[in-house]
Structures are given as structure tokens and as C-alpha cells.
Chains A and B, each alone.
Chain A
Amino acid sequence: MLQINNLWKSYGDQIVLERIHTEVQAGDFVTMVGASGCGKSTFLKMLLGTEVPSKGQILLDGQPLAAEPDADRGIVFQQYSVFPHLSVLDNVIIACAFSQSPWTGWLGRTRKAAARQAAEAMLDKVGLSHALQRYPHELSGGMKQRLAIAQALMLKPRILLLDEPFGALDPGIRADMHELVLGLWREHQLTVFMVTHDLKEAFYLGTRLWVFDKVRHDPQAPHRYGASLTYDLDINRKRGSDLQGAALLKDIQARTAPTVALAG
């Protein structure tokens, strides 16, 4: 579904990413890890359309990706992705409003009723049906992320992008969110890209784990070489905890430490 051909990204003479070739199938759940500043977020921004590649292409079904964000790609940021001036329900209804009348964002009465029903159903799925009339500032961090996910899924995007969505959450809440995301991924057959700092999370959630790291180093000019994909692991979820998996985990940890934290 998604083809990435010889992708480079540089700012001035600082090369961030280089020589990325890969292909992603519909239904893949790709988790991306790497040291801070290794370019995994830049890569996500290129998928999103807020950054453009310096060289190379990203093709979606053979067509180059639009150079600005659009409804093909849903996004959940670590924070600020919900609208603070709208109630939980309106936050999801506005997704329908934007997609159905892109210029004004206004819905007539009948379309609004339909949107409301769809929004309530989606909020029920993410477990927010008890908080429909609340405003985002009255929600906990976990609930805000549930809302952001509901918003992003309303339009059934081809690709769902998650930018460290659970980075600011407590471990217990995080486990709940993992189940939620896995459930939605299976149910809607989503294609997901997720940036995370947490290797265990990456192993647990992903069907493919990408590790971003520099292959080449120039100690005199560290910025002249960018990071690339050093690992592209197929994860069979059932084997995730066996010996082979554990050995891999250790190996990757050793390579990406000390900047990748292994959170419990």
C-alpha cells in the first residue's frame, strides 16, 4: 500500500534521514523506535505531510503523498490534539462536519443528527460515553487521548499516525490504552505508524518494529550522515516473550541505549 523509495531528509547541510527504502502493507502496525533526534519524528511528519522529503518519494497506492495533511492520514499527537473549546461530543462531531462540508464546517439538522449518532457510537467504543458533555480540560490525560483517537478514527483514514501518544500517561492507564488501540486496529483493519520511546510497548503493539539509527559515522562531522532503518523486524505477537524475542530486545536495547528508556 505504501512505498518508500530512497527517502532523504536534510535541513541545510545537516542530514537527518538517508536512504530509506521500504514497503508497508495494509493492516501493518509499524512501531518506530530510536534515540532522540534520530529522525523518527521527522519521518512521521513526512508521512503526515507537514514536512516534505528532500529526496525520494513516499507513494500511497502508487501516487505521491499530498504535501499537506489530508483526510487520508489520521493523527494523534502526544498533546494538544483535541479542541479545547468543544465538548467531547462536539469534538467528534466536528470531524464529520469538516469532512462533509470542508469550507464552512457547518452541518444541517439532519446531517448533524446522523453525525451525532455516529460520534456517540465511536465514543462508546473508546469508553467515553459517560463524558459526552464534558470539556477537554475536565478530562484526564488518558481520556483526552481516547478522545483524540476517536476523532482520528471517525473518518476511517487509510493510515493512522500516532506520535508518542501514550508518552505522558501513567503505566496502568497506558496498558488500558494498548488494549484499546489493538482492539480498534483489529476491528477497523487499520494501518498504523506509531513513534514511541518505549521498546516494550513497541514490541507489544507492533507487527513490525523499525529501529532508526545511524549506520555511518563521521566523528569530525557527525551531521553529515543521517539515520536510516537499521532494523525492520517482523514480530509474531505470540512469540513476543520467548527467548529469541528477548535476545533481540536486548540487542536493540544495547544499540539504542542510553536514550531509549525501557519503561515498565
Chain B
Amino acid sequence: MKRMINLRPDRSWRMMLTLLPFALLLLVYILSSDARLALNPNDKLLPSFAQFASTMQQMVFEPSKRTGELLFWQDTFSSLQRLGLGILIAATLGLVIGLLTGALPLVSAAFSPLLTVVSLIPPMALLPILFIVFGLGELSKVVLIVIGIFPFIARDIQKRAQEIPAEQLVKSQTLGAATPAILLRVLLPQLMPRLIDAVRLSLGAGWLFLIAAEAIASTDGLGYRIFLVRRYLSMDVILPYVAWITLLAFLVDWLLAWANRRLYPWYHQGGL
């Protein structure tokens, strides 16, 4: 028998082992749900899959009686729009601030300490201010996401910019480049794949701020829906919504990882 640290699963074994915990969780849920429903057919805490299907059927395919909208898609669209806009603005802001503070010591001296302080402010504590200043509409939700994640992206990009070997900057100068050309042609392209990495890492926080903002003040959105139906103990809505949010988060992350490999092959094959 080999030592444990030397045992590696082959392909089919790996697949089995990957699926195993998911299957176990599912099994535990089905068994507990069945047990509860056998005792009380009106139990709302652990709905059966048939209940999930009929509820989601309504939300996905049938227009709401009150507004005439397909609620599930309306919620998904609103949330993704807020998240996408927030992430896009935060990434742009983070890239510009990170690049300038990472590459130019003068800008760094002026703004790095401020950036550190800003990044330490808990964004949720600012939410009331955002509501007061920007109202309860879309703007304050997007701003919360931006404020929540841009300092992280900016600091990460700043650090990555400083990690680019000084030799490259010296080399550019000996080829006659002025500062803007070095920023645009040497640093910026090398920071792009790192920016995508930073965005991937901050997506979790982005979802957190999105759902928090929607839970507090909104009229649609995935987070709004979950917190709305909580009053009726509608686990048949909440659990599918959570699964859907998880799937969306996974897909966005996967898409970014794929795009990163496609767009910047040199970054992923030890090109440094």
C-alpha cells in the first residue's frame, strides 16, 4: 500500500469523487424532506422537488397576476444589470487608480494612503448615506457595489503593477519611450489579465453587496425576492433562487477564467 500522499485518482475515479459529496447532500435533503412531509403534508421548511417544480414553473413561465411580468427573469435581469454595471465601473476605476499609483511614485505618494483608508471603511456602513444621497433607486445599489469592491481591485492592480520587473521599464526608456507610452504599451496590457483575476476574486463580495442592497430597498431582483418571500416561509422559492444565484456566480466566474485564457495566453503559460 502506497502512502496516502502518493495516491492519485484516475479520471473516472476523480469524476466519481467529485460528484459524491453533491449526491450525498441531495440524498440527505430528499430523505429529510420526505420524513417531514410524511409527518405533516403542509410542512414548508423542506419542500419536495415536486413543490419546487410547480412553484418555479409559475415564476419562470407564467406572467405575474399583479405586474404581468415573468418574475424570475425580471429578477435575474435586474440583478445582473446592477451587478454588471457595478463591476464594470469598479474594474475601470480600480484599473486606472491601480495603474497610476503603481507606476508613478508621485501619484502613489499622494493617493496610496487615502486608498488604504478608503478600503478600510465597511461599505455596508455607508449604505444609509448612499440612500440619503442617491435615493432608493438603481444608482445607490450600483454605487454600493462600486464602493465595496473598487478599493480591493485598485490595491491589487497597484501591487501587480509594482511587481512588473523594473528591467522592463528601463528597457522601454532605452528604446525612447515617454511615460504615457510605457503606461499604455508596457504596463496596461500586462495588467489586463491580472485585472480579470482581481474581478473574479471580488465577484463574491459584489454579489454580497448586491443582495444586501436589494434586500433593504428594491422592487425587484433576486435578493429582493428572497427577502420578500421569507415572510411566508416560502422555501420553495428561496432554495431554487439560492441555487440559481450560485449557478450564475459560477458561470460568470467560469466565463471570466475562459476569456482570460483565450485573450492572454502568454499570462497563463508561465510568461513573465
Q: Across the interface, do A85 and B264 meet the contact criterion of CB distance under 8 Å?
A: yes
Residues of A within 8 A of B172 (CB): 98
**Contacts A70-B173, A75-B170; is A85 near B180 (CB within 8 Å)?**
no
Most buried by A among B176, B180, B184: B176
Chain A: interface residue total (CB-CB under 8 A): 37
Q: Across the interface, do A136 and B168 meet the contact criterion of CB distance under 8 Å?
A: no
0/1 interface trace, chain A 216-238, chain B, CB 8 Å (1 if under): 00000000000000000000000
Residues of B within 8 A of A70 (CB): 173-174, 176
Residues of A within 8 A of B270 (CB): 137
0/1 interface trace, chain A 79-101, chain B, CB 8 Å (1 if under): 11111110000000011011101
Tell me the complex Cα distance, A137–B266, Å: 7
Q: Across the interface, do A102 and B266 meet the contact criterion of CB distance under 8 Å?
A: no
Residues of B within 8 A of A104 (CB): 180-181, 184
**Contacts A84-B190, A105-B181; is A71 near B271 (CB within 8 Å)?**
no
In the complex, the chain B residue whose C-beta lies closest to that of A152 is: B174
Q: Chain B binding site: helix, strand, loop or mixed by DSSP?
A: helix
Q: Does A48 contact B (CB under 8 A)?
A: yes
Residues of A in contact with B (beta carbons under 8 Å apart): 48, 50, 68-71, 73-75, 77, 79-85, 94-95, 97-99, 101-105, 135-138, 148, 151-152, 154-155, 157
Q: Across the interface, do B175 and A135 meet the contact criterion of CB distance under 8 Å?
A: no
Q: Across the interface, do B173 and A103 meet the contact criterion of CB distance under 8 Å?
A: no
Residues of A within 8 A of B272 (CB): 84, 137
Contact of A135 among B168, B190, B266 (CB under 8 A): B266
Q: Across the interface, do A155 and B175 meet the contact criterion of CB distance under 8 Å?
A: yes
Q: Across the interface, do A102 and B190 meet the contact criterion of CB distance under 8 Å?
A: no
Residues of B within 8 A of A83 (CB): 168, 171, 186, 190
Q: Across the interface, do A80 and B165 meet the contact criterion of CB distance under 8 Å?
A: yes
Q: What is the minimal beta-carbon distance from B148 to any residue of chain A, in angstroms? A: 30
Residues of A within 8 A of B175 (CB): 71, 94-95, 98-99, 151, 154-155
**Contacts A81-B171, A84-B272; is A99 near B176 (CB within 8 Å)?**
yes
Q: Across the interface, do B184 and A135 meet the contact criterion of CB distance under 8 Å?
A: no
Tell me the complex Cα distance, A264–B165, Å: 31
Q: What is the minimal beta-carbon distance from B266 to any residue of chain A, in angstroms? A: 4
Q: Across the interface, do A105 and B173 meet the contact criterion of CB distance under 8 Å?
A: no
Residues of B within 8 A of A136 (CB): 266, 271
Residues of B within 8 A of A71 (CB): 174-176
Q: Across the interface, do B171 and A151 meet the contact criterion of CB distance under 8 Å?
A: yes
Q: Across the interface, do B170 and A48 meet the contact criterion of CB distance under 8 Å?
A: yes
Residues of B within 8 A of A80 (CB): 165, 167-168
In the complex, the chain B residue whose C-beta lies closest to that of A134 is: B266
**Contacts A80-B165, A85-B190; is A98 near B176 (CB within 8 Å)?**
yes
Tell me the complex Cα distance, A148–B174, Å: 12
Q: Across the interface, do A157 and B271 meet the contact criterion of CB distance under 8 Å?
A: no
**Contacts A94-B185, A137-B270; is A69 near B173 (CB within 8 Å)?**
yes
